[in-house]
């Protein structure tokens, strides 16, 4: 259960494989089958690996990405912020796998809540970095395509910090899926309810609080919350 990470850092108690499912789309399809959901939104399509494997008719799937390599079906070439400003549709399942930075995940999550059906599900990718380097805000190996940051190495970004913030300030049902010891994990969230929030504080100040979470001092606390709070995948 415990693996070493980068040199001169705290020992991290990584989560281990907890499901026979092998990929994101298998989890999403299982959720769709179990709940009879019929509409799907994917933020961050990239090469379409997950999007094209979702078991819904093309007319019931929407993908949003400003610079994808996969452009078949209903793919909207916009940033998620621009999409949500104009969106009028309600979705049963929303998969967030866009820019892997707190600032973007924050927007995507709360925008997703605003267009989620009553019993809908939000699924967020890259919640379990396999080492400290993977959760850097900007990956060491990266490049830009049409002004969009792309990564040239395994990179979860600091998505985990946002999930940690949710655990501390919101009440929700959740399940974390870890496909293999080195897979970056996804979380299934539903029934979200705010329980605590700091009054008279701006979004920018909240983002600063989230950015101040530290891998070496807070990540084990985050994993402990997952262990104690999340449901076991079935």
- pTM, two decimals, is 0.90
Mean pLDDT score, 54-81: 96
Q: Which residue has the higher pLDDT, 230 or 106?
A: 106
The confidence band for 198, taking pLDDT boundaries of 50, 70 and 90, is low
**Which residue ranges make up each domain of the chain?**
24-229
| pLDDT value of position 193 | 76
> Is the pLDDT score of 199 beyond 80?
no
Strand partners, 43: 64, 96
CATH of domain 24-229: 3.40.50.150
> Is the pLDDT score of 234 beyond 90?
no
Mean pLDDT score, 25-33: 94
> Is the pLDDT score of 47 beyond 90?
yes
Q: Burial of 18 by CB count in 10 Å (0-12 exposed, 13-18 middle, 19+ buried)?
A: middle
pLDDT in tens, 105-162: 999 999 999 999 999 999 999 999 988 999 999 889 888 888 888 888 888 999 999 9
> Is the pLDDT score of 2 beyond 50?
no
Q: Tell me which residue of 130, 125, 117, 123 sits closest to 12, measured CA to CA.
A: 130
> Is the pLDDT score of 43 beyond 60?
yes
- Dist CA 32 CA 168 (whole Å): 28
> Is the pLDDT score of 9 beyond 70?
no
């Amino acid at each position: 259960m415990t693996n070493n990470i980068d040199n001169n850092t705290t020992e991290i108690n990584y989560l281990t494989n907890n499901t026979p499912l092998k990929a994101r789309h298998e989890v999403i399809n299982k959720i769709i089958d179990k709940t009879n959901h019929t509409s799907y939104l994917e933020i961050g399509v990239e090469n379409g690996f997950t999007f094209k494997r979702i078991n819904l008719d093309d007319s019931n799937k929407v993908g949003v990405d400003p610079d994808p390599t996969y452009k078949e079906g209903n793919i909207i070439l916009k940033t998620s912020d621009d999409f949500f400003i104009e969106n009028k549709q309600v979705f049963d399942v929303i998969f967030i796998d866009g820019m892997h930075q707190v600032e973007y995940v924050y927007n995507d999550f709360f925008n997703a809540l605003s267009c989620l059906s009553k019993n809908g599900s939000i699924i967020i990718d890259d919640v379990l970095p396999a080492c400290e380097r993977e959760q850097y805000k900007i990956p060491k190996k990266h490049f830009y395509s049409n002004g969009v940051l792309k990564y040239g190495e395994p990179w979860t970004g600091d998505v985990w910090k946002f999930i940690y913030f949710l655990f501390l300030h919101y009440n929700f049902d959740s399940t974390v899926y870890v496909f293999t010891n080195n897979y970056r994990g996804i979380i299934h969230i539903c029934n979200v309810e705010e329980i605590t929030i700091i009054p008279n504080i701006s979004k920018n100040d909240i983002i600063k609080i989230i950015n101040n979470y530290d891998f070496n001092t807070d990540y084990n606390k985050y994993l402990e919350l997952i262990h104690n709070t999340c449901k076991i995948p079935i």
